[in-house]
Structure 1
Amino acid sequence: MRIALNARILQAPRTGIGHYVAELSQALSCDAQLELDFFHGWGWSRQLPAAALPGYNKWTTLAKQVPGAYSLRRQLDQYRFTRGVSRHAADLYHEPSLWPLEFAGPMVMTLHDLTHVHYPQTQPRDRLAEIDRRVGPAVERARFILADSQFVANEIRQHYGVAAERIKVAPLGYAERFRPREAHALRACLAQFGLQPGGYLLCVGTLEPRKNLAQALRAHALLPEALRRRFPLLIAGMPGWRDANLAPELQKALASGAVRLLGYQPDEALAELLAGARMLLFPSLYEGFGLPVLEAMASGVPVLLTARTSLQEVAGPAGVYLEPGDDQGWCAAIQRLLGDQPEWQARRTVGLQRAQEFSWKRCASITASVYRQALE
């Protein structure tokens, strides 16, 4: 069974969907009945792109400035894709993101979330126009739609009117690099940031409104000064839509030295930063899955998060759930986990147990089963 998999997302620095494509592909490669051919925009390969495309950031800047850039790029992609599909004789096409390309055979599509519906402002206008024009017809055309969580599956069914039997939930997994680590194994990585293992709080996510990082800033600012200095708040993630909205709170916190903005971190560095954190703060307002939550639990790190969208499906009994806007509640929960070692240890233990319920092997098994059903 030959699968044409669109891996174009890997031209960009890897975030959520990029990690999904990379990890799922690696897990699928263990299935002897599957042959994967990767389309990466400029051509095809039997191997995943190892790194982001040089100059990708220049392209995204240009695309926001040139009218019709996304439409033009799609036309070029379609031309190269069609030529490659014919040459490789693909049996099925898997689109792991929005707006699938045209394909004569059966197609499986992954919809990770409906951010484009709930937060359209997070997309450049040109790109959003393409999404609005193409996602609906693509959802109708797909034999099956994969969702990361039951929450997203329900949203797809309600928003697009898709029959429940056409939607399959394939929960994500975590990479092997996310694991508990001894303090001595972390010191080299953390030393460059002037940190000690267990001596900081961490947020992971793009700086954009739906991630609600301002919630973490406000809660941290309410901590007693001694705790703020002993446990600084680190934010690891790329700049995003309207990240300037965080500027007043962020600039004040940065000036005090209590908050540090790390920017995008490579895979291994992020895994070590997670393993060394005292806890993960994840105040996001909307998630289709919440991969950093799973990765933190797998690393032995307790998680504080909002009781919204898919996050309870992921963290289950391991999560400390708080309401958005409850600054005092977030602050109190942070203080409790900083000062109550037995509770911290209990949350850590339950999180490690919970993480074992998720794996890329399981995700790949469900995905391969969907491929086979689509070809029947």
Structure 2
Amino acid sequence: MCAPSLDSIVKILIDYRPALHERTGVGEHIHHLAEALTARSQSEPDVSVTLFSSSWRHRLPSDAIAGAKIVDRHIPVRCLNWFWHRVQWPSIESVVGKFDVAHSPHPLSMPSRHAAHFVTIHDLDFLAHPDHVSAEIRRDYPKLVERDAARADRVIVPSRYTASIVQTQLKIPTDRIVICSNGAPLWAPRHVPIYDGHVLFVGSIEPRKNIKTLLGAYRALLSRRAHSPDLVLAGHVPRTARDMLGALDSSPLDRKVRVLGYVSPLERYELYRNASMLVMPSLDEGFGLPALEAMTVGVPVIVSTRGALPEVVADAGLIVEPDDENAIQKAMARILDDRFYVNAAVARGLLRARSYDWGRSAHTLFTAYADALRERRG
């Protein structure tokens, strides 16, 4: 599939900072999308992709993505973000030079005098659940996001669900919303299911991930199946979650729950390979990348009815209400006890995962760039 061509050289700038250190879902999204976009641009000699980074501590390697140009500035992230998002200064022309497209992997744009503005909105949980975020985000973020989404030439979203809430809550016309789904990782699936592997959760330990309910459901599982496998929590642990997880030390779950903190992509792959299941009882998800990663490896998944999770998983997993500990417990028990179901779920998950491809999303994104530039050029 060829990317649409333009009549002149196109310079694309991508804010790569979320992928610079300890990549979470947003970092994975922008890294793989930029990687696929750069690979596609190799067949377009008049298109160049530049990755932008700024950090006081972390440097962006010159070979972060083969074929991409690198601009790495020794500027603290928080400092630059404050000026960019609140003062709209300095422009990217002043910081890195002139570009045709400036693409931010989050809802707040990079200020530019000339470039087409692209922002990415993964979810609007800060609007749906303001109690999940800090006072600063509750105070400032909604107005800033609304401002930058309204100004953007295109708003990129990872799912139909997020497209719908961006349209309804931010009043963005559908013709300015572009769905660029996550792609499945290039991981080899395991050859056979592991029926007694650990129960796995992957994601930052934050309120919308619903960890308290997961722990309650797991406690109920142990009361019925004392020899159930361990629960492994893999993901960044912010300070706000440390008290909750610290309480595990004095609870009956102490020896059954392992909290790993952030894990690298390779470590994450190994965790999937040895898991009996992935559980995501989230209260909201703009996509739900761990569910796709698990299906890619051949791991049965349990997800909630909320957000984009049912859209991503479809009929390949068990879908439960996130506030129903008993339903989550029963779903976990089914995967541990029903091998016929597990074998069928693995097959459906592998098939489902193949429908998500970074190359197709990169083509969609480049088409959106081209359309926006044609509109600007008349």
TM range (shorter): 0.7 to 0.9
| Cα displacement (A) at 1:229 | 3.6
Distance 1:45 1:73, change over 3 A: farther
Matching of residue 292 in structure 1 with residue 272 in structure 2:
no
Match for residue 161 of structure 2 among 151, 170, 195: 151
Distance 1:206 1:356, change over 3 A: same
Q: What TM-score comes out, normalization by structure 2 length?
A: 0.83
- 8 Å Cα contact 1:228/1:258 also seen in 2: no
**What's the CA shift string for 1:40-80, capped at 9, x where partnerless?**
12599975489xx9x99xx89xx6xxxx9952576899437
Hey, what's the Cα distance between the residues in 1 that align with 2:83 and 2:133? 17
Which residue of structure 1 lines up, in the alignment, with residue 127 of structure 2? 117
- 8 Å Cα contact 1:207/1:240 also seen in 2: yes
Distance 1:144 1:74, change over 3 A: closer
Give unmatched runs, 5+ long, in structure 1: 184-195
Hey, what's the Cα distance between the residues in 1 that align with 2:93 and 2:61? 14
Distance 1:130 1:362, change over 3 A: same
**What's the CA shift string for 1:183-238, capped at 9, x where partnerless?**
8xxxxxxxxxxxx9842110111111110012221111112458444411111011
Which residue of structure 2 lines up, in the alignment, with residue 212 of structure 1? 210
- 8 Å Cα contact 2:196/2:336 also seen in 1: no
Matching of residue 174 in structure 1 with residue 172 in structure 2:
no
More displaced 10-residue stretch of structure 1: 331-340 or 242-251 = 242-251
| Cα displacement (A) at 1:11 | 3.4
Percent identity of equivalent pairs: 28
Q: Within 5 Å, which residues of 2 pair with 1:202-351?
A: 202-224=200-222, 227-240=225-238, 242-244=240-242, 246-247=244-245, 250-253=248-251, 256-351=254-349
Give unmatched runs, 5+ long, in structure 2: 1-9, 67-71
Which residue of structure 2 lines up, in the alignment, with residue 82 of structure 1? 93
Hey, what's the Cα distance between the residues in 1 that align with 2:164 and 2:311? 13
Matching of residue 358 in structure 1 with residue 356 in structure 2:
yes
| Cα displacement (A) at 1:162 | 1.0
Match for residue 150 of structure 2 among 117, 140, 164: 140
Hey, what's the Cα distance between the residues in 1 that align with 2:21 and 2:137? 16
- 8 Å Cα contact 2:195/2:339 also seen in 1: no
Hey, what's the Cα distance between the residues in 2 that align with 1:121 and 1:81? 34
Q: Within 5 Å, which residues of 2 pair with 1:61-100?
A: 71-72=82-83, 78-79=89-90, 81-86=92-97, 89-100=98-109
| Cα displacement (A) at 1:84 | 4.1
Hey, what's the Cα distance between the residues in 1 that align with 2:152 and 2:289? 25
| Amino acid in the other structure paired with 1:82 | E
Distance 1:230 1:159, change over 3 A: closer
User: CA RMSD for the aligned pairs?
Assistant: 3.1
Pairs aligned (count) = 351
Distance 1:330 1:306, change over 3 A: same
- 8 Å Cα contact 2:184/2:354 also seen in 1: no
**What's the CA shift string for 1:268-302, capped at 9, x where partnerless?**
01111012100001100100000000000011000
| Cα displacement (A) at 1:130 | 4.6
| Cα displacement (A) at 1:242 | 2.9
Distance 1:74 1:280, change over 3 A: same
Hey, what's the Cα distance between the residues in 1 that align with 2:60 and 2:90? 12
Aligned-partner SS, 2:205: coil
